[in-house]
Amino acid sequence: MRGVRWLLLKDLQILRRSPLQAVLLVAYPILIAVLIGFAISREPSDPRVAFLNEVPPNTRINVGGQELPKANVKDRICERVECVFVDDRDEAEEKVESGDVLAALILPANLVNQINSLSTLTPGVPEIEVLVNEENAVKAELVDDRITSLLAQANLQIAQRIGAEGGRYLGLLVNGGQFSVLGETIQILGLRATAQILKTVTPALPPNLRPALEEVTEFATQARDNLDVAKPLIDRLAQPIAVDKVVVGGKSPPLEIFAIAVAATLTLAFVVVLLVAGSLALEREENAFSRLTRGLVSSGGLLGEKVLLGVVVGLVVTLLMLFGMQVFSPLDLGRVPLWLVAILFSAAALGAAGAALGAAAREVRAVSLLAFMVTLPVAFLSLVPSGAVGAGAFDAIRIFTALFPFKPALEAITAALDEAGPGIGGPLLHLTVLFAAYAAIARLALRRFAAV
Amino acid sequence: MRASGVVKRFGDREALRGVSLSAGPGELVAIIGPNGAGKTTLLSILAGIARPDAGEVASADGAIGWVPQQAALYRRLTVEENLLLFARLEGHEDPRASADEMLELTGLGERRGEIVARLSGGNQQRINIAIGLLSRPAVLLLDEPSVGLDPRQRARLWEFVSSLAGRGTTVIFSTHDIQEAERYGGRVLVLADGESLFDGSAGELREAVRSEAPEAADRDFETAFVAYLQHRGH
């Protein structure tokens, strides 16, 4: 243990003597913390969409000769996107082409007439026009998604208005009331009152006429009862399928907590793996390895010292980052002991993986590149959710990522940050197994090099 | 220090084939031979870094100092920090006193605070040797210690090494510089293809060559050495 202490001190001295490395170790997590912090503390900005309304003012949607109340579709759309009002089609096209707006939404002059024609014998096809610039596939897909979503909303609102009007007419038919048409008010008797009147007058009729009238009364009663049932059905027509979301697996914390956990794990992984692998390779690059292992320190002691170095530096850097995130998104400080447990287990497993890499290389540059080439794809693959790729590919990814400590480290840190996350026990056990496996690989690799 | 019948194999290749060597206190033994002769392998086995597949190695009480060919020290630490680190790792009771002693011995006391990377190759090699001497070894093993040094640095290095031998330290070194072996080696061990071909003084090697190639024996030692190898099929 005495040797480990002095070697650790030596490595920290060397780290201090490498200003670029030291600055990177401190600056990198702060930079990541600030970037993630800004990203999660700002509301996502609405996409800019040019809006041209060519529909003549005061044109209203008409159902069965009755104008529907104003739906305020424009206001509703502009709640969800940043509307840039334009005066004509040329201006809309120019703004889309220049990239000033993501898309242009044009309501043509005949839109309302076409909607009104839907309730006639010659229904038209109401269309709105969308101008998009598809120079960028991702941007184009984003625009498509937004516009489709907006149209679905607009269709739903119109359908709800029509449904409400239909329901009002049914109400009149059942219960009676007043109905305005061409400026005149008509009194509607309604089925309920009709049945009541018929029941009242039936006893006054000659017996031979009563059965026929009783049939009419029965019809009015049945029609009233059944049309009462029809009204909720019409209401459901606008949105026949409702969503009832039930979470049955994959407890997940809030998105900002997950983002913080990803940033912290990524920082921890890069710092620990690069530092441990690099410092172990440095012993060989400086030719000190054979001198050290000639009785001054055992190869196990040397590996332990490197992992300890990674754990110490990784712990400091990750805590620095998490406390930095407090400025943007308050974290539950009551869970700090769990943070420490998660970071220590994660750093130890990542350090053992770094030691295995470092033992396999002679030069710091080569091993740094190797560590980067291993850590980055593993980190990306660990973030692929189920369903994003085919079942076979996902199984392969799951097996591959389970062999490297990044994913269990992410799960452990997520669980430590928020109680809504997955349990911490499984990831800690996984990290322990990986630590033992990588430590054994690193020892074997070092023994092989000692024999060279 | 004594080694007898040392064999070392790397796969199918025999790097050492029953090599024997002995050296007493204050003796300076030079190991010479062409590339791949087994010089570094033999020194590594004497140092305990590698294990022989057969044969025995024994040394009298006292640590063995090992100075690898390339300076084995931390270039981003200072001269003093390097010496302190290895003194601590060796468990010295007073590491600072040990470091001071080595700084005095190497004549680098005034440069104790300098980062090693900024020192010349010669000075780095002196610290490399000083670290090898920290354990006050009875035997000092040096693997091609003068490689990469200019003539003045080489002269200073050998003056230093000779002074160690003068104080009773057994010094065994390998070298490619045959003149250096003649000048500083009290005894010369010639290795070729893992075999020990000669063990004696430089003068005795010349005499051996004289009977085989008289014209080469009277020229410089390197010519005599090459003739010796050629007559044995190397």
What's the first-to-final CA gap in chain A, in angstroms? Answer: 26
Q: Do B77 and A287 touch (CB under 8 A)?
A: no
Q: Do A2 and B49 touch (CB under 8 A)?
A: no
CA distance A138 to chain B (A): 48
Pick B89's closest partner by Cβ from A290, A297, A450: A297
> What ipTM score was computed for the predicted complex, to two decimals?
0.76
Pairing mode, strands A48-53 and A82-85: parallel
Best of B46, B79, B88 to mutate (most A CBs within 10 Å, chain A): B88
Q: How many CB pairs under 8 A join A and B?
A: 55
Q: Do B71 and A297 touch (CB under 8 A)?
A: no
In the CATH hierarchy, which top-level class contains the domain A48-162? Answer: alpha beta
Pick A294's closest partner by Cβ from B66, B73, B88: B66
Give the mean pLDDT of A372-378: 87
Q: Do B131 and A14 touch (CB under 8 A)?
A: no
Is some CB atom of chain B closer than 8 A to the CB atom of A245?
Answer: no
B61 compared with B23, residue with greater pLDDT? B23
Is some CB atom of chain B closer than 8 A to the CB atom of A2?
Answer: yes
Tokens of residue B15, six digits: 């790097």
Q: What does the alpha-carbon distance between residue A191 and residue A227 come to, in Å, rounded to a whole number?
A: 10
Share of chain B above pLDDT 70, in %: 99
Share of chain A above pLDDT 70, in %: 87
Contacts of residue A362 in chain B, CB cutoff 8 Å?
none
Give the mean pLDDT of A65-75: 63
With the C-alpha atoms ordered B19, B24, B25, B31, is the resulting torsion angle positive or negative? negative
A412 pLDDT exceeds 50?
Answer: yes
Q: What is residue B62's predicted lDDT score, i.e. its pLDDT?
A: 64
Closest Cα partner for A306 from A442, A212, A198, A209? A442
Best of A17, A21, A446 to mutate (most B CBs within 10 Å, chain B): A17
Q: What is residue B206's predicted lDDT score, i.e. its pLDDT?
A: 87
For residue A98, what pLDDT band results from cuts at 50, 70 and 90? confident
Residue spans per domain, chain A:
2-41+255-451, 48-162, 177-234
Q: Do B81 and A13 touch (CB under 8 A)?
A: yes
Residue recorded with tokens 């539950």: A332
For residue B38, what pLDDT band results from cuts at 50, 70 and 90? very high
Contacts of residue B88 in chain A, CB cutoff 8 Å?
2, 6
**How many other CB atoms are there within 10 angstroms of residue A123's CB atom?**
12
Is some CB atom of chain B closer than 8 A to the CB atom of A292?
Answer: yes
Q: What is Dmax (Cα atoms) for chain B? A: 58
Q: Do A10 and B49 touch (CB under 8 A)?
A: no
Least confident segment among A226-230, B45-49, B145-149, B186-190: A226-230
Interface of B with A (CB under 8 A): 47-50, 66, 68, 70-77, 81, 85-86, 88-91, 115, 131
Q: Do A296 and B89 touch (CB under 8 A)?
A: yes
A372 compared with A144, residue with greater pLDDT? A372
A34 pLDDT exceeds 80?
Answer: no
How many CA atoms lie within 13 Å of B46's alpha carbon, on the beta-carbon side? 35
**How many other CB atoms are there within 10 angstroms of residue A59's CB atom?**
15
Q: What does the alpha-carbon distance between residue B159 and residue B162 come to, in Å, rounded to a whole number?
A: 5
Q: What does the alpha-carbon distance between residue A11 and residue A306 come to, in Å, rounded to a whole number?
A: 9
CA distance A329 to chain B (A): 40
Q: Tell me the DSSP string of chain B.
A: -EEEEEEEEETTEEEEEEEEEE--TT-EEEEE-STTSSHHHHHHHHHTSS--SEEEEE--SS-EEEE-SS--S-TTSBHHHHHHHHHHHTT-SSHHHHHHHHHHHHT-GGGTTSBGGGS-HHHHHHHHHHHHHTT--SEEEEESTTTT--HHHHHHHHHHHHHHHHTT-EEEEE-S-HHHHHHH-SEEEEEETTEEEEEE-HHHHHHHHHHH-HHHHTS-HHHHHHHHHHTTT-
Q: Do B72 and A14 touch (CB under 8 A)?
A: no
Report pLDDT digits (tens) over A218-277: 888 888 888 777 777 777 766 667 677 666 655 667 778 888 888 899 889 989 999 999
> In chain B, which segments carry CATH 3.40.50.300?
2-62+139-230
Identify whether the C-beta of residue A449 lies closer than 8 Å to the C-beta of residue A359.
yes
φ and ψ at A49, to 5 degrees?
-130, 130
B27 pLDDT exceeds 90?
Answer: yes
Q: What is residue A181's predicted lDDT score, i.e. its pLDDT?
A: 67
Q: Do B74 and A14 touch (CB under 8 A)?
A: yes
Pick A294's closest partner by Cβ from B47, B71, B73: B47
Indicate the residue type of B98: S
Closest-CA residue of chain B to A293:
B49
What is the rounded average pLDDT for all residues in chain B? Answer: 89
Q: What is the 3-state secondary structure (H, E, C) of chain A?
A: CHHHHHHHHHHHHHHHHCHHHHHHHHHHHHHHHHHHHHHHHCCCCCCEEEEEECCCCCCCCEECCEECCCCCHHHHHHHHCEEEECCCHHHHHHHHHHCCCCEEEEECCCHHHHHHHHHCCCCCCCCCEEEECCCCHHHHHHHHHHHHHHHHHHHHHHHHHHHHHHHHHHHHHHHCEEEEECCEEEEECCHHHHHHHHHHHHHHCCCCCHHHHHHHHHHHHHHHHHHHHHHHHHHHHCCCCCCCCCCCCCCCCCHHHHHHHHHHHHHHHHHHHHHHHHHHHHHHHCCHHHHHCCCCCCHHHHHHHHHHHHHHHHHHHHHHHHHHHCCCCCCCHHHHHHHHHHHHHHHHHHHHHHHHHHHCCCCHHHHHHHHHHHHHHHHHHHCCCCCCCCHHHHHHHHHHHHCCCHHHHHHHHHHHHCCCCCCCHHHHHHHHHHHHHHHHHHHHHHHHHHHC
CB-neighbour burial class of residue A425 (10 A; exposed 0-12, middle 13-18, buried 19+): exposed
Report pLDDT digits (tens) over B4-16: 999 999 888 899 9
Q: What is residue A26's predicted lDDT score, i.e. its pLDDT?
A: 72
Closest-CA residue of chain B to A5:
B89
Q: What is residue A372's predicted lDDT score, i.e. its pLDDT?
A: 84
Residue recorded with tokens 């496996």: A437
CA distance A362 to chain B (A): 14
CA distance A1 to chain B (A): 10
Report pLDDT digits (tens) over A299-351: 889 999 999 999 999 999 999 888 888 877 788 888 999 999 999 999 999 99
Q: Do A286 and B72 touch (CB under 8 A)?
A: yes
Report pLDDT digits (tens) over B93-149: 999 999 998 888 778 888 999 999 999 888 888 888 889 888 888 899 999 988 877
Tokens of residue B189, six digits: 């061990």
**Which A residues in the span 417-446 are in contact with B, Cβ-Cβ below 8 Å?**
none
Contacts of residue B91 in chain A, CB cutoff 8 Å?
2
Q: What is residue A313's predicted lDDT score, i.e. its pLDDT?
A: 92
Q: What is the 3-state secondary structure (H, E, C) of A113-178?
A: HHHHHHHCCCCCCCCCEEEECCCCHHHHHHHHHHHHHHHHHHHHHHHHHHHHHHHHHHHHHHHCEE
For residue A452, what pLDDT band results from cuts at 50, 70 and 90? very low
Q: Do A2 and B115 touch (CB under 8 A)?
A: no
Q: What is residue B164's predicted lDDT score, i.e. its pLDDT?
A: 86
Q: Which residues contact A319 (CB under 8 A, 6 or more apart)?
A: A339, A343
A64 pLDDT exceeds 70?
Answer: no
Closest-CA residue of chain B to A9:
B85
Q: Do B49 and A290 touch (CB under 8 A)?
A: yes
Residue recorded with tokens 């060279």: A452
Q: What does the alpha-carbon distance between residue B187 and residue B196 come to, in Å, rounded to a whole number?
A: 13
Q: Do A13 and B77 touch (CB under 8 A)?
A: yes
What's the topology of domain B2-62+139-230?
Answer: Rossmann fold (3.40.50)
Pick B75's closest partner by Cβ from A13, A286, A294: A286
Closest-CA residue of chain A to B44:
A290
For residue A40, what pLDDT band results from cuts at 50, 70 and 90? low
The distance of Cα A25 from the centroid of its chain, to the nearest Å, equals 30
Angle formed by the axes of helices A2-17 and B79-89, to 10°?
Answer: 160
Q: What is residue B20's predicted lDDT score, i.e. its pLDDT?
A: 93
Q: What does the alpha-carbon distance between residue A274 and residue A361 come to, in Å, rounded to a whole number?
A: 13
Closest Cα partner for B3 from B176, B199, B144, B205? B199
For residue A370, what pLDDT band results from cuts at 50, 70 and 90? confident
Q: Do B66 and A14 touch (CB under 8 A)?
A: no
For residue A121, what pLDDT band results from cuts at 50, 70 and 90? low
A182 pLDDT exceeds 70?
Answer: no
Contacts of residue A14 in chain B, CB cutoff 8 Å?
74, 76-77
Is some CB atom of chain B closer than 8 A to the CB atom of A4?
Answer: no
What is the rounded average pLDDT for all residues in chain A? Answer: 82
